[in-house]
Amino acid sequence: MTAREKIPEERRLTIRQEIVRLLAAEDQDVGALSRAIGKSEKELYDHLAHLLRARALVIVPAECLGCGYRFERREKVKKPGKCPRCKGTHLRQPLFRANRNAAAGGAGCARRQKESG
């Protein structure tokens, strides 16, 4: 094995299960999740989008720190670029929360496969 090859870390839970477990304990932004799981924010956005489609997580909307505008109807997991009301860019990132039903029974495709098969 060369010095550049990385040994994969051993996990008991999938990354998505770990995200749901962390979010069941408290609301977090993608930066906090990245630090807790040890994966890049870019990689986590794909997992968060999947969990959102699977209804395993809920988004606490981003908010403009200048005028207080809340991005209530936004369904994207990434932070918006600027406020549509005041055009400010000083925004609080969206927070993520585990859907209580998903946190209780596990999340995602694995659960659906067990139910259907």
Q: Which residues form the domain of 31?
A: 15-102+108-112
pLDDT in tens, 2-54: 556 655 555 577 888 899 989 998 999 999 999 998 899 899 999 999 998 88
The fraction of the chain above a pLDDT of 90, given in percent, is: 33
pLDDT in tens, 40-54: 989 999 999 999 888
74: domain CATH number is 1.10.10.10
Count the domains in the chain.
1
Note whether residue 4 is domain-resident. no
Note whether residue 57 is domain-resident. yes
Note whether residue 97 is domain-resident. yes
Alpha-carbon distances of 102 from 1, 19, 54, 85, 90, rounded to whole Å = 40, 12, 9, 34, 32
Is the Cβ–Cβ distance between 92 and 40 less than 8 Å?
no
Q: What is the mean pLDDT of residues 75-84?
A: 88
Note whether residue 24 is domain-resident. yes
> How many degrees, rounded to 5, is the angle at CA 59 between CA 67 and CA 16?
145
Note whether residue 8 is domain-resident. no
Q: What is the gyration radius of the CA atoms in the chain, in angstroms?
A: 17
- Assessment of whether the complete model's pTM goes beyond 0.85: no
